[in-house]
Amino acid sequence: MNIRRLIASRRSIRQFRPKPVSRDLLMDFVDAGRLAPSAANLQPLEFLVVDDPAARAGVFPCLKWAAYIQPDGDPKPGREPAAYIIVLVNTKIRDKMFEYDVGAAVENMALAAAGEGVAGCWLISIDRPKIQALFGIPDHVRIDSVLALGYPAETSVVEPYRDSPRYWKDADGVFHVPKRTLDAVARFNTY
């Protein structure tokens, strides 16, 4: 699949099949994140991969999913992610303006995963103190976000943006995600 089609087809997925994602693939995804652009090339990001079933079970209650449609957007029992990549910022390297690095790294990882048939959901509404305690993350390492990963067990489609950014699930369980049109966001040479 070419990159443009991959970008267009990548959607956040919140229901996963009970199939593990190999460590080789998980390391490939982290490598894609590592290779993302970094402001001043400081590279403050680190990545904690969680694939052990007990550790995954500890992370799961620390995450909030699909706020617009809770609890329908939460993964159902047996449909939880197969792995998580916790995105960390080493504040001894950079303690502000790292959000651009995070965005580039997470999108690289999500696209690398999508290219292998692995779906993801980027979560920023998370219980950072609990995650820090679960994994013994030192105080100088900031927990930014979590990328949940697994093989998809649902479909998500783009809908034309109408009056609201709110996504919804239809009677068949398909996620519908409104996106503004290209004509609404693209400008040439002047506003």
Residues whose CB is less than 8 angstroms from the CB of residue 156 and which lie 6 or more positions away in sequence, other chains included: 11, 12, 13, 174, 175, 176, 177
Q: What's the confidence (pLDDT) of residue 72?
A: 84
Q: 167: which 2 tokens? A: 């996504």
Structure tokens of 105? 């790294």
3-154 topology per CATH = NADH Oxidase (3.40.109)
pTM above 0.85, yes or no: yes
The DSSP call for residue 171 is T
Q: How far is CA 65 from each of CA 12, 44, 117, rounded to the nearest angstrom?
A: 11, 27, 21
pLDDT for 122: 98
Residue 141 pLDDT: 98
- pLDDT at position 70 is 86
pLDDT truncated to tens, each residue of the chain (191 aa)? 799 999 999 999 999 999 999 999 999 999 999 999 999 999 999 999 999 999 999 999 999 998 888 888 899 999 999 999 999 999 999 999 999 999 999 999 999 999 999 999 999 999 999 999 999 999 999 999 999 999 999 999 999 998 899 998 999 989 899 999 999 999 999 99
C-alpha of 51 from chain center: 15
Give pLDDT, residue 126: 98
